[in-house]
Chain A
Amino acid sequence: MKRENKRVITVVDVIILVSLILFGYLIYRTAFANTHADTYEIDYVVKVSSVRSELSDRIANGDEVYSMDGEYMGRVTAYEARTSVLPSGQTMPGCSDLYITIEAQATGDGVVAGSEIYVEGEYELYTPGLYFKCVCINVKK
């Protein structure tokens, strides 16, 4: 009598299948992640305190904003330089406070390029013309 050729799924088969599924998922994520993500527009305002006046005009509408990791954080849509006022109420001669409105595409709960944008959040950002440390003072979703 001929012995029945039994096909058994082995551990190796499982590993291969899991690897294939993982490969497929990673390829899918790499190729399509950004196009399929649910993004929405977000406007956030950041304040840069006490910038020397000679640096305060180095930003302009339309400038692209990046994080220090080089991630795109949005585009400047409005910008205002006001006299720098200390918490004591004293004005600082020769310095300005910058108010920069940035428009960006966010996912989830106001996450832009992996950074959650929230009021009182502190960020290090740059445009091609200016590096600045800032605090977020307003977010519109």
Chain B
Amino acid sequence: MNIKKTKFGVMDVFIIVLVLACAAGIVGRYILTGRNGILATTPERVSAAVHVLVTSIENTSADYFTDGAEFTVGKSGETGEILDTTIRPAENYDEDENGELYISYDDEENGKKDVRCTLIVSGWYRDGIYMLGGREPMLPGAEVELSSEGIRVNALILEVTAVENDLIS
């Protein structure tokens, strides 16, 4: 019987070394820089005050915005506590007799409302940008969804300021 002998050559060693190096690289990368890696730095969680404006919501919906109420902010799942709520008649644009636009306001009792409030949230700063849930930027000018039991609205972010943790009860 003719048995073909396969020789273990230099190239085989080279391939094995290459594969092992790749595997070591992947494992090493995880160990060193992965989320729980040796070199991974966990940024410190910082509380921030996110000032928002909710426009033209129903008169009755404004009642959800009371100081101390909790809302889920955006898609991050992070919740924020509401402070400094101001509820005013909703702003509208109307035309005068010359066709110029002017700001008018809804009826105080029955009209729609604009709500300004501050949400105290907890997140991280990454490259100078405040992030909720590690990936949702909180930027003035952007809209963010606020939701609580039975209500979901879009809010315009007006300002984001870091607050010292020990100031929050």
Contacts and interface: CB of A to CB of B under 8 A. Distances in A.
Interface of A: 12-13, 16, 51-52, 54-55, 58, 70, 86, 90-94, 126, 128-132
Contacts of B127: 70
B100 A90 contact: yes
Nearest to A23: B18
B139 A16 contact: no
B158 A90 contact: no
A58 B99 contact: no
A55 B141 contact: yes
Given A126-B137, A128-B128, 17 more contacts: A13-B11, A16-B14, A51-B141, A52-B156, A55-B158, A70-B127, A90-B95, A90-B99, A92-B93, A93-B103, A126-B129, A126-B139, A128-B129, A130-B141, A131-B137, A131-B142, A131-B157
Interface residues of B, number: 22
Given A13-B11, A92-B93, A58 B101 contact: no
Contacts of A16: 11, 14-15
Contacts of B156: 52
Contacts of A52: 156, 158
A12 B6 CA distance: 15
Nearest to A92: B101
20 contacts: A12-B11, A16-B11, A16-B14, A52-B158, A54-B158, A55-B141, A55-B158, A86-B101, A90-B95, A91-B100, A93-B101, A93-B102, A94-B103, A126-B137, A126-B139, A126-B142, A129-B139, A131-B137, A131-B157, A132-B141
Interface in B8-34: 11, 14-15
B100 A130 contact: no
Nearest to B130: A128
Given A16-B11, A16-B15, A92-B93, A131 B140 contact: yes
A122 to B, nearest CB: 16
